Structure 1
Amino acid sequence: MTKPFDTIIIGGGPAGMMAAISSCFYGQKTLLIEKNKKLGKKLAGTGGGRCNVTNNGDLDDLMAGIPGNGRFLYSVFSQFDNHDIIAFFEENGVALKVEDHGRVFPKTDKSRTIIDCLERKINALGGQMLTQTEVVSVKKIDGLFHLKAANQEFSCQKLIVTTGGKSYPSTGSTGFGHEIARHFKLNITELEAAESPLLTDFPHKTLQGISLDDVTLRYGKHLITHDLLFTHFGLSGPAALRLSSFVKGGEIVELDFLPTQSQDALNAFFEAHRDKTVKNALKQLLPERLADFLAQDFPKPLKQLTPRETSSLLTNLKAFPIQITGKMSLAKSFVTKGGVELKEIDPKTLESKKVPGLHFAGEVLDINAHTGGFNITAALCTGWVAGSVHIQ
């Protein structure tokens, strides 16, 4: 027997949960289907398990934080934005705090606080949730969508696909939403890793484990200033993850270890410490192991450096070249770049232009954002807007 609903949402991540809340809020008989045991499996691991739920910046900050087709979201943000997210959680009993770079977390430092809040709201509004239920097929017949799971069938007037991309498949993001889109003859853009650690030809063992605050990675017109971590394979941390949206492998990027210091300021520093060895002088500016690494070609006092050597040292400090050899695989990256082509989607409603009643929200769309709360912001906001559209 087929169970009828007004709206069904496939995928219980942040976009799906918020779509269910919005749909229920607007009076729709709503079902949220998730194949995992619990809702929000990927959300549970974000922000190191603390859940960086949004960013408190203005619209320009949001656009800067969403390099992958962020402009498409202008209509979405005019209806529901990051400040609405903050208000939503505070109004529903979640105390929030703002950390560096505008990152917003629950004061509990637990992602479960966010997930529980969303679940409670769905329940309070009368929505139904089915976990451990995997949809295997979707068809549209006589104006209704028909969904099949293992032992159940459902129908609805409006279907919202919030199944995520293909990053971290262990969380359930297998690309099923893209299969639904293809079934209905929608285009899918090329999928690749974004917000991905970078593989480099760097001397990994020498610098492995060194963490730097607010350095600048530069590639062409792209300048990313944020924290950076040297790893056994290359570069990680927010600066590397953000730059990964613009590189594929084979590029040379430049690292400015001291972006707040101009070359003139560094020359003045060299003069003030001219009697010290390069290594001992640099230890006042940088972590000891990094200072040792950068000074290894200059085993003498600063005052003995030739003009060419001084210039070379400055270059290493302000524009150290690093060869990018690749990125982590899509399965090990935080975000999927690519997805349902946006030309196919109405930006005001997130409804397919070809298939009435079929909506997409979250990472299944060809939108990718930086870590720091921007991806979850895009997911929650697109979820709300997709769920709020009234069935005619």
Structure 2
Amino acid sequence: MNSFTKSDELLQRELKVSPLAAQTYSKSYRYFSKGFAPSYMDHGEGCYIYDVDGNKFIDFMCALGPITVGYNEPSVNEAVIKQVNKFSSGSLQSELEVELAEKICEIIPCAEMVRFVKNGGDATTAAVRLARAYTGRDIILMCGYHGMHDWSIGASDNHKGVPEAVRKLTINFTYNDLNDLETKLKENEVAAVILEPIQSNGPKDGYLDAVKELTHKYGAILIFDEVVSGFHYALGGAQEKFNVAPDLVAFGKGMANGYPISAVAGRRDLLEQIEQGVFVSTTFGGDSIAMAASLATIKILEQPGFYDHINKIGTILHDGIQERIDKYDLNDVLAVSGMPAHCGVAFEGHGSLSYLDVQSVYSQTILQYGVLQFAIYFLNAHHTEKEAKIYLDATDEAFSLIRKAIDKDSLDGILVGGKVDPVFKRNIK
């Protein structure tokens, strides 16, 4: 069993001065089985990370999606170092800003203009603001997670601190349910429909085309939130994969291999509003280091065969998970969730065991195999069939233990570490 002495010491120190001891909820120690997981990373190489105690893990989290071409990628490092020796943020913009904007407009189907910001939530918020200004309407129809800003998080269960008046302006609709969408479009003067185009097992045939048609029928702007899907399924994102171009799109995560940058892109007439009084401006939006990293990253993503490799490894994992669910007769408790490039396991409770009990057994087991992941995996260029086999071996062992736990309706003798305790929990078992 790995030792996490330094990691545990750092965790106790940080808990005294920073909530949850992590700046991102999903990287918190609470998302892993206590006693089996590190909390602090020292360095990464390819698809592996090394914690502060020297333990090595295959990383299937990829920093929650940003690491698309691998840790410590030489060409990205070289581009970043070259720019570091010039400047990061300066009193004038870098020529890299021009190059990256041109590249985004070249590779993203809907992009005629682009505006750079920092986080995914910045990009979705900018898109919503542009849509409201253009339509003169206030109501937003939303499907998925779109960041921490009030207009979005206020429509979730995690709305503490968001004014009621703001919360009323955003309405959730159900993915893959066109009747629900059209009903809400009829009932409200809608400025924009915003959704993550790929959720769960992906859109039904024709769904995204129909969403676009309905959105325009009722005079609203269609926004794809591709902060997650962008640069993971195809170079041009879900809109390229499914051949449906929205009016606006938000990108982030995977566009710079871990460096902080995001973008809102789309129709020229919508983006030009930024010159006409729609405020989308940030001090670090023109950070040249992140732009250098993004240009170097995209150059790798553009190489022939890149996405063929990602989809090949993803398919091995996707199909392998389902085979093992069938092997242990766990289809009432476990399900494959997602498409091959970004997929994993969904958990349900059974008997006296909650879904978190089941997930805790999974977490503890795969960590013992040296696999860092808590439910859904991301892939980068360095994941191969070797890492996929280790992942599936770990999953096989985890599922066998879950089967035992269900058969005895108890975690006794099976769960040795602590239970996972995510910040946001489902309202079901």
Structure richer in strand, relative to its length? 1
Same fold (TM over 0.5): no
* Structure with more relative contact order (C-alpha pairs < 8 Å, separation 6 or more): 1
TM-score, with normalisation over the residues of structure 1? 0.24
TM-score, with normalisation over the residues of structure 2? 0.23
